[in-house]
Amino acid sequence: MIKCNWYQCLIKRSAVHGEFWITDSGYVMGAGEDDQYDHVSHVITTAQDELMDNETEDWEYWMSNQASKILSQEKESLEEQLAIAEDGENESQIEKVKNDLYANWEMTKNIDYYVYDLIFNNVANLGIDPSVFNAANGIGDPRKFAMKHWGWKRLADDVVETWTLTRRDLDIISRGLYDAYDENVENQIFSVNVVSTETWFMAVPYEAIESGNISQIRQDQFRGWVAP
């Protein structure tokens, strides 16, 4: 194991450069300034595609369409309630339902303003995972979402971020590093951040990652340092 204190590791110049996502299969997607998407944009786009499920490629249209369906179904339900209230001559209920119908009409007129709340408040009925929906809208930290829920690994130069660190994670990281940097990974030292526990493993040789030797990697760790 190549060791150094955390400050020496921090200032060590890397021989590899680039920003990538490593998916749970070890496939690499470019995520730097020269690519179409950065780390966050990759997650947002993937989450949107997952929710749209080939219905359309236009996220704004999909959002508006879902919100319109919600309001339309709500309007039908309210109209049924109004008919029942009128048959029973229930004046208080009639007034309440009419107010709700008016609110429904107001939201329909200004649907873009209400679209997020309408969908988020109906995720259960729509069969949508709220965490995926928030990631698709860039709410919270989409990078942490991708690492936790999809098992993606974030790679920036010689820094690797992962939600967990198991033998399988190391195998995915190893294949992703080689896919990103080819033979340049040989004899390269990496820093590995386990995001779920905020634990850093400094000066980790590629050979240790490739071998899947977790115990060797855990010999050298530094807690609490946050990447710039």
For residue 140, the tally of other CB atoms under 10 A from its CB is 11
Does residue 128 sit in the same domain as residue 167? no
Q: 127 is in which domain, residue-wise?
A: 51-136
End of a domain among 136, 162, 179?
136
End of a domain among 106, 136, 166?
136
Structural domain includes residue 151: yes
How far from chain centre, in Å, is Cα 196? Answer: 14
Total domains in the chain come to: 2
Does residue 80 sit in the same domain as residue 127? yes
End of a domain among 116, 136, 156?
136
Residue 25's identity, in one-letter code, is S
Does residue 25 sit in the same domain as residue 68? no
Expressed in angstroms, the distance from the first to the final Cα of the chain is 25
- What is the number of alpha carbons within 13 Å of residue 1 lying toward its C-beta? 17
pLDDT at 35: 58
The model's confidence at residue 6, banded by pLDDT at 50, 70 and 90, is very low
Structural domain includes residue 228: no
Does residue 28 sit in the same domain as residue 104? no
Tell me the C-alpha to C-alpha distance, in Å, between residue 102 and each of 51, 105, 142, 201: 30, 5, 37, 59
Rg (CA), the chain: 25
Give per-residue burial for 13-46: e unless 16+ CB within 10 Å, then b.
eeebebbbbbbeebebbebeeeeebbbeebbbeb
Structural domain includes residue 1: no
Q: What is the pTM of this model?
A: 0.80
Structural domain includes residue 92: yes
Does residue 98 sit in the same domain as residue 84? yes
Phi-psi region of 224 (alpha: psi -120 to 50; beta: other; left: phi over 0): left
pLDDT tens, residue by residue, 160-192: 999 999 999 999 999 999 999 998 898 899 999
pLDDT tens, residue by residue, 99-143: 999 999 999 999 999 999 999 999 999 999 999 999 999 999 999
Does residue 25 sit in the same domain as residue 101? no
Does residue 130 sit in the same domain as residue 56? yes
Q: Are 104 and 23 in contact (CB under 8 A)?
A: no
pLDDT at 34: 56
Pick from 159, 207, 200, 153: nearest CA to 185: 207
Does residue 152 sit in the same domain as residue 213? yes
The model's confidence at residue 223, banded by pLDDT at 50, 70 and 90, is very low
